[in-house]
Amino acid sequence: MTLFLDTSALIKLYITEPGTDMVQAQVAAAQELAVSLVTYAEGRAALAALWRAKRLDRARYQTARLAWEADWTGFFKVLVSEALCREAGDLAEKFRLRGYDSIQLASFAQLAREAEPGGVAFSSFDRRLNSAANALSRGSRQPPARSRGR
């Protein structure tokens, strides 16, 4: 099974916060990890914001950033094309999503369409994004999103 992680889920592999154990268990059960290409920028921005807010000290920030960089090459990346962005726009309207959340969802949808039925699971800690992923999964017989969040 391929596990698609949005930024809110993936970041939990690099910092300890509520949900870290859940994501680690999901990752351990997965055969492959997939992300949208935009996750790179979102994740680096999130780590930097945590450092600026003093939720990470300099050493922990650098360790997390280096681990992020080292792991990045091993993820399957869904590329962001014009067609994917157009689908994201439709999904943003349909599910009332923010811009990058809609790109995450469109990336998951593209991956799910290309996989065997039940071959892709979705992980996020955004309640609205999970609800949208569940709706798409029901339509394509993919398993439901498995995380919870805001």
Q: Is the predicted pLDDT of residue 141 greater than 60, yes or no?
A: no
Structure confidence at residue 73 (pLDDT)? 96
pLDDT of residue 26: 98
Query: Rounded to a whole number, what is the largest CA-CA distance in the chain?
Result: 45
Instruction: Answer whether 0.85 is exceeded by the pTM.
Output: yes
Amino acid at 95: F
For 63-71, the CB contacts below 8 A with 24+ separation are: 64/14, 64/15, 67/14, 68/14, 68/43, 68/44, 71/13
User: How many CA atoms are closer than 13 Å to the CA of 41, on its beta-carbon side?
Assistant: 7
Residue type, 48: A
Domains of the chain as residue ranges with CATH: 2-140 (3.40.50.1010)
User: Considering the chain, what percentage of its residues have pLDDT values greater than 90?
Assistant: 88
